[in-house]
Amino acid sequence: MLLTICTIFLLQICYVSLITIRMILTVKGYRYVAAVVSCIDIMIYVIGLKLVLDNLDKPINLLVYCLSYGIGILIGIKIEEWLALGFVTVQVTTNGNNADMAAGLRQKGYGVTGWLAEGLEGERFILTIIIARKLQSRLYQDILLADPQAFIVSYEPKYFRGGFLKSNRYRIS
């Protein structure tokens, strides 16, 4: 009985983690990798569900199946965060003409586009940076070191072509 419960638990965690990763791969455009992952996750699903259905006389099996689903979601999200697939666009708004921040970020290897803008309380400097998601937290640290009051917004670009990311200069020091 304990072996069955542990097997259901592990299978369900693997299954749901793979589903989560597959969904993210699909959304990010890795369709062939997602297709391979789906073959594996459905096999695990069928085996786990069969174990539960064969042992419906023991409600603990169903409870473990349900609880491990939630745990699998959390683990799948953590795996995706660790993989950090794709890119992000980071937009930074600073007070005044902060061209020094743009120059400092460029020296560190980031591709930065900056321009002056007008805000409610006066002149602002806007920076746009597109980077690999794996570098996102490092970029935030670099920005906040230069301006602790910076307003930072990030989002995932759906499509981009050319520019700094496609050049061989893309090396963050």
pLDDT of 171 over the 70 cut: no
- The mean per-residue pLDDT over the stretch 135-157 comes to 92
Do 78 and 122 share a domain, yes or no?
no
Burial class, 56, CB count within 10 angstroms (exposed 0-12 / middle 13-18 / buried 19+): exposed
Do 60 and 100 share a domain, yes or no?
no
Do 126 and 78 share a domain, yes or no?
no
Domain membership flag for residue 152: yes
Q: What is the predicted pLDDT for the residue at 25?
A: 87
Q: What is the predicted pLDDT for the residue at 165?
A: 61
Do 16 and 79 share a domain, yes or no?
yes
Q: What is the predicted pLDDT for the residue at 168?
A: 43
Domain membership flag for residue 171: no
Do 45 and 111 share a domain, yes or no?
no
pLDDT of 56 over the 90 cut: no
Alpha carbon 166 to its chain centroid, in Å, reads: 21
Instruction: Find the domain containing 39 and state its range.
Output: 2-83
Tally of structural domains, the chain: 2
Domain membership flag for residue 145: yes
Do 7 and 78 share a domain, yes or no?
yes
Domain membership flag for residue 56: yes
Domain membership flag for residue 173: no
pLDDT of 173 over the 70 cut: no
Do 9 and 68 share a domain, yes or no?
yes
CATH code of 126's domain: 3.30.70.120
- Residue-wise pLDDT for 16-50, tens only, equals 999 988 988 888 888 899 999 999 999 999 999 99
DSSP class of residue 58?
Answer: S
Whole-angstrom Cα distance, residue 84 to residue 154?
A: 14
Q: What is the predicted pLDDT for the residue at 89?
A: 93
- Residue-wise pLDDT for 102-136, tens only, equals 999 999 989 899 998 988 888 899 999 999 888 99
Domain membership flag for residue 106: yes
Q: What is the predicted pLDDT for the residue at 11?
A: 93
Do 91 and 79 share a domain, yes or no?
no
Q: What is the predicted pLDDT for the residue at 82?
A: 87
Nearest 5°: the CA angle 70, 42, 16 is: 15
- Residue-wise pLDDT for 66-107, tens only, equals 999 999 999 988 988 888 888 899 999 998 777 789 999 999
